Amino acid sequence: MKRFEDKIVIITGASGGLGHAAAVRLASEGAKLVLVGRNMEKLEAAKKDSDVAGAKESLIITADVTKEDQVEAMVNETVEKFGRIDGFFNNSGVEGKQNLTEDYGSDEFKWVLDVNLNGVFYGMKHVLSQMHKQGNGKIVNCASVGGIRGVGNQSGYSASKHGVVGLTRNSAREYGQHGISINAIAPGAIMTEMVENSLKQMDPVNWEKAGEEFVSVNPMKRFGKPEEVASVVAFLLSDDADFVNGQVLAIDGGQSSQY
């Protein structure tokens, strides 16, 4: 039997990168998916790939995670259709512009925190309400290695991801007794569109060379793959991780162990 047979899993940020990869992985293990994002065209592509991978059923919902009413509606629509929520990959996020703290735009800072921290909180708040009623469920929040150490030139991103780590640990203490586990992943340099854009900020002309230099200090000397992150997400959302709670798991080729 597949690990996610007939289980209902919501994925935010499902239109690309880690969310898309997680959708395909969970679909291959029999999940019924709720794919959430702002870009309908990309969501439809994720749904198509998930269906090919074996998704039992998929629902697309367009929502902006910075709008609490839209997040609440996302949860309500899921419960109305499927009756429950077994897993939640709370994944939506942005990096923002890179700058020294003194030059970091205040509006940029607010926007990055709004997406990465407030959006994660809204998702947790409304999904946890349903899981609490059920008496079970699993949540995986997407933090970052930028949430467990300083990275430089990313005040908004680092602050928001440290906040995600704090939310994860706090809520894990609150809800473990109710049969709910809450963990976070801390991806490092995973080759997604967001990381590519980050490299282009560092060197618009020779961003690929900048990427080679960026991973040269990594023990594995390469970028990670979205599929490698998806495997960890699937584990944490599965029954195999029943006694894993309040953890922040780095997926970075061992680089964080050097700090």
Residue 135's region, left for phi above 0, alpha for psi from -120 to 50, else beta, is left
- Report the percentage of the chain scoring pLDDT > 70: 98
For residue 1, pLDDT over 80 is answered with: no
By annotation, the residues acting in catalysis are: 157
Which amino acid appears at position 1 of this protein? M
What was the pLDDT predicted at 10? Answer: 98
Which has the minimum average pLDDT: 54-63, 106-115, 158-167, 196-205? 196-205
Q: 123-160 pLDDT, tens per residue?
A: 999 999 999 999 999 999 999 999 999 989 999 999 99
The answer to whether 19 and 12 are in contact (CB under 8 A) is yes
Half-sphere exposure of 75 (CA within 13 A, CB side): 22
For residue 250, pLDDT over 80 is answered with: yes
What was the pLDDT predicted at 230? Answer: 98
Which has the minimum average pLDDT: 51-55, 72-76, 86-90, 179-183? 51-55
What was the pLDDT predicted at 201? Answer: 77
What was the pLDDT predicted at 216? Answer: 78
What was the pLDDT predicted at 191? Answer: 81
Q: 2-33 pLDDT, tens per residue?
A: 999 999 999 999 998 999 999 999 999 999 99
The answer to whether 142 and 18 are in contact (CB under 8 A) is yes
> In sequence order, which residues have a C-beta less than 8 Å from that of residue 96 and are 6 or more positions away?
108, 109, 111, 112, 154, 156, 157
- What average pLDDT does the chain have? 93
Question: Alpha-carbon distance 166 to 209, whole Å?
Answer: 35
According to DSSP, the residues that pair with 62 across neighbouring strands are 37
Question: Alpha-carbon distance 31 to 54, whole Å?
Answer: 8
Question: Alpha-carbon distance 184 to 164, whole Å?
Answer: 8
Q: 164-213 pLDDT, tens per residue?
A: 999 999 999 999 999 999 999 999 988 877 767 777 777 677 777 767 77
Question: Alpha-carbon distance 124 to 167, whole Å?
Answer: 9
User: DSSP assignment of 201-234, as one string?
Assistant: HH-SSSHHHHHHHHHTTSTT-S-B-HHHHHHHHH
What was the pLDDT predicted at 115? Answer: 98
What was the pLDDT predicted at 194? Answer: 76
Q: Note if the pTM is more than 0.85.
A: yes
Residue 3 backbone phi and psi in degrees, to 5: -65, -30
Question: Alpha-carbon distance 140 to 142, whole Å?
Answer: 7
Question: Alpha-carbon distance 100 to 104, whole Å?
Answer: 6
Architecture of domain 8-189+225-258: 3-Layer(aba) Sandwich (3.40)
According to DSSP, the residues that pair with 37 across neighbouring strands are 62
